């Protein structure tokens, strides 16, 4: 078992380029199945979820090569259309392969991706979208059997689901006719997927708005593309600065994607400066954070559910009380009992959580129970008095590339200990 040892209380200082976005690279890797030649992707984060996606691509018959942050995918040999239960469970968003598989082969056999640490993971909207595009979907005892080449159609999403929007786009690109996706999710990663597919020759319009149109059936080429920066990793690092104090500049992220998170830090008393692809946060050592007005998670451009835990961790040590309302997932307060071990004062009632600010957290042995919850515990430890030991790193490594090295670059006192000698 690996753990992170974090000595808190040291202000963070410096500048770094944020890793590529997990939530962008995963659908783009699935989209490579649609390419007419090799695809070279730059700025790909090295994450266990990315390794799992590459495993699925290899299994389907693609040639895949990963060197540093560059991944090359040659889909010309891909002919399989079956994804095993083990691979479907290897990462939460494995369902994103459904749309491109159908578009490429006219069939797909897979299983449910399973629940996850955030609660139930329904895929009803994904399947409804696939049906609306003209494919047959049969579900039985855990298996999903899809048949038929997509013809295109009208997809109306009852919830602006990120994954269902992406699946519909990916399936629609290979359809014989036009598709309109209404009440589409508007997340920046969907704009990145549109840009990537259009680079290969697709004709998609409207990503970033609630209506996306896709002209299906255009032949796609191979190509080269750089993945956008990860706004959630950026939000986590900025939460770390808010918790520990200091002055940090992040490059490679668009501050507009972080607007709601930056607004919270500004209200809490931090100074925020932003340029096109650079954002800077300053929290003076002698200036404690203030509580802020209610934080409600919502689809983009609302406050991101993925930033809820890290921002909550920062606000644990603040003057006053802050209400949170989690509207996206059922089980997204699993970091709270761990924060309580560090001296936080938080009450959870259903979707709501009340954070009563304390003067300072103290170090403790804590365990990550999900990806962003793990990021939150690192944030809390950076601001705490004394030493913390963070376990459960398999969750953290799904989405943060070498978190300890990133934090070390900002001057934090963090090290990873790997192996049997590590305390439980
Ligand atoms: C994506 C992100 C995840 C983020 C989430 C919300 C990726 C790889 N992951 O997840 O980090 O937390 O968006 O911003 O991009 N829903 C249904 N039926 C469905 C699909 C979703 O009811 O078929 C519900 C979900 O339970 C949830 C809501 O819709 O309550 C939003 O989920 P969705 O946008 O689909 O999240 P993901 O795409 O899974």
DSSP code for 238: H
Burial label for 89, CB within 10 Å (0-12, 13-18, 19+), is middle
The finding on whether 252 has its CB within 6 A of some atom of ligand 1 is: no
pLDDT value of residue 118: 65
How high is the pLDDT of residue 117?
A: 65
d(CA 271, CA 168): 40
Query: Which residues are CB-contacts of 232 (< 8 A; sequence separation ≥ 6)?
Result: 21, 22, 23, 304, 306, 307, 372, 399
Site to probe by mutation for ligand 1, drawn from 99, 162, 167 as the one with most ligand atoms within 8 Å of Cβ, is 162
Catalytic (active site) residue 171: no
Active-site residue (options: 32, 44, 62, 116):
116
CA nearest 209: which of 229, 194, 225?
194
User: Do 60 and 16 form a contact (C-beta atoms < 8 A)?
Assistant: no
Any idea how long the chain is? 424
Structure tokens at 169: 């786009």
The first and second tokens of residue 329, run together, are 């997932």
DSSP tag of 148: S
Find out whether the beta carbon of 190 lies less than 6 Å from any atom of ligand 1.
no
Residue 126 Cα to ligand 1 midpoint, Å, equals: 10
Nearest CA to ligand 1 atom 1: 162
Please tell me if the CB atom of residue 400 comes closer than 6 angstroms to any atom of ligand 1. Answer: no
Contacts for 405 with CB less than 8 Å, ≥ 6 apart? none
Q: Are residues 326 and 356 in contact, defined by beta-carbon separation less than 8 angstroms?
A: no
Residues 246 and 237: beta-carbon distance below 8 Å? no
Q: What distance in Å separates the CA atoms of residue 384 and residue 364, rounded to the nearest whole number?
A: 9
How many angstroms does the Cα of residue 207 sit away from the middle of ligand 1?
A: 17
Q: What is the pLDDT of residue 114?
A: 62
User: Backbone dihedral region of 142: left (phi > 0), alpha (psi from -120 to 50 degrees) or beta?
Assistant: left
Q: How many CB atoms lie within 10 A of CB 136?
A: 11
H-run or E-run covering 50: helix 48-60
- Asked if the peptide bond before residue 16 counts as cis, ω within 30 degrees of 0, the response is no
pLDDT tens for the chain, residues 1 to 424: 899 999 999 999 999 999 999 999 999 999 999 999 999 999 999 999 999 999 999 999 999 999 999 999 999 998 888 998 899 988 888 999 999 999 999 999 999 886 566 666 789 999 999 999 999 999 988 789 999 999 999 999 999 999 999 999 999 999 999 999 999 999 999 999 999 999 999 999 999 999 999 999 999 999 999 999 999 999 999 999 999 999 999 999 999 999 999 999 999 999 999 988 899 999 998 899 999 999 999 999 999 999 999 999 999 999 999 999 999 998 899 999 999 999 999 999 999 999 999 999 999 999 999 999 999 999 999 999 999 999 999 999 999 999 999 999 999 999 999 975 444 3
Question: Is residue 244 helix, strand or coil?
Answer: helix
Let me know: does 110 contact 97? Beta carbons within 8 Å: yes
Ligand 1 pocket check for 305: Cβ under 6 Å = yes
Residue 237 near residue 18 (C-beta atoms within 8 A): yes
Hey, which bits of 229-277 come out as E strands? 246-251, 271-275
Q: Which ligand 1 atom is the nearest neighbour of the CA of 93? A: 8
Q: Are strands 70-74 and 295-296 parallel, antiparallel or unpaired?
A: unpaired
pLDDT at 424: 36
The Å distance, Cα 233 to ligand 1 centre, comes to 18
- Left (φ > 0), alpha (ψ -120 to 50) or beta: where does 340 sit? alpha
Check pocket membership of 98 for ligand 1, CB cut-off 6 A.
Answer: no
Look up residue 406 and give its two tokens.
């990133």
Distances (CA, A) of 264 to 91, 94, 239, 267, 308: 31, 33, 10, 5, 11
Residue 234 in contact with residue 401, Cβ under 8 Å? no
Report whether residue 161 contacts ligand 1, using a CB cutoff of 6 Å: yes
Q: What pLDDT was estimated at residue 421? A: 44
SS3 of residue 68 by DSSP? coil
Q: Which residues of 336-351 are buried (b: 16+ CB within 10 A; e: fewer)?
A: bebbbbbbbebeeeeb
């Amino acid at each position: 078992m690996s753990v992170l040892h974090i000595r808190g209380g040291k202000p963070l200082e410096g500048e770094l380029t944020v890793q590529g976005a997990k939530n962008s690279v995963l659908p783009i890797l699935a989209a490579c199945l649609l390419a007419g030649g090799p695809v070279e992707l730059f700025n790909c984060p090295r994450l266990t979820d990315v390794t799992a996606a590459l495993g699925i691509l290899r299994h389907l018959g693609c040639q895949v090569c990963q060197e540093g942050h560059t991944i090359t995918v040659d889909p010309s040999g891909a002919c399989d259309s079956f994804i095993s239960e083990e691979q479907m469970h290897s990462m939460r968003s494995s369902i994103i392969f459904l749309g491109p598989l159908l578009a490429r082969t006219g069939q797909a056999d897979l299983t449910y991706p399973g629940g996850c640490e955030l609660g139930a993971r329904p895929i009803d909207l994904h399947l409804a979208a696939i049906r609306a595009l003209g494919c047959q979907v049969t579900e039985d005892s855990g298996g999903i059997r899809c048949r038929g080449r997509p013809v295109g159609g009208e997809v109306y999403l009852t919830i602006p689901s990120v994954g269902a929007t992406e699946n519909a786009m990916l399936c629609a690109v290979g359809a014989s006719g036009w598709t309109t996706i209404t009440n589409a999710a508007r997340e920046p990663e969907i704009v990145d997927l549109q840009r990537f597919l259009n680079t290969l020759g697709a004709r998609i319009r409207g990503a970033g708005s609630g209506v996306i149109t896709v002209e299906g059936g255009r032949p796609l080429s191979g190509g080269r593309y750089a993945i956008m920066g990860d706004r959630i990793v950026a939000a986590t690092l900025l939460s770390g600065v808010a918790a520990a104090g200091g002055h940090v500049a992040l490059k490679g992220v668009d501050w507009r994607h972080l607007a709601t998170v930056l607004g919270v830090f500004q209200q809490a008393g931090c100074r925020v400066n932003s340029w096109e692809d650079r954002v800077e946060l300053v929290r003076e050592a002698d200036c404690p954070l203030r509580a802020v007005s209610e934080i409600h998670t919502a689809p983009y451009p609302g406050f991101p559910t993925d930033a809820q835990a890290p921002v909550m961790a920062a606000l644990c040590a603040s003057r006053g009380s802050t209400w949170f309302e989690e509207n996206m997932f059922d089980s997204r307060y699993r970091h709270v009992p761990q924060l309580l071990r560090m001296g936080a004062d938080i009450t959870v009632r259903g979707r709501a959580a009340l954070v009563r600010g304390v003067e300072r957290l103290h170090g403790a042995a804590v365990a990550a129970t999900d990806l962003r919850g793990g990021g939150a515990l690192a944030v809390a430890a950076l601001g705490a008095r004394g030493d913390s030991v963070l376990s459960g790193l398999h969750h953290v490594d799904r989405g943060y590339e070498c978190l300890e090295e990133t934090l070390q670059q900002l001057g934090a006192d963090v090290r990873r200990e790997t192996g049997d000698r590590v305390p439980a």
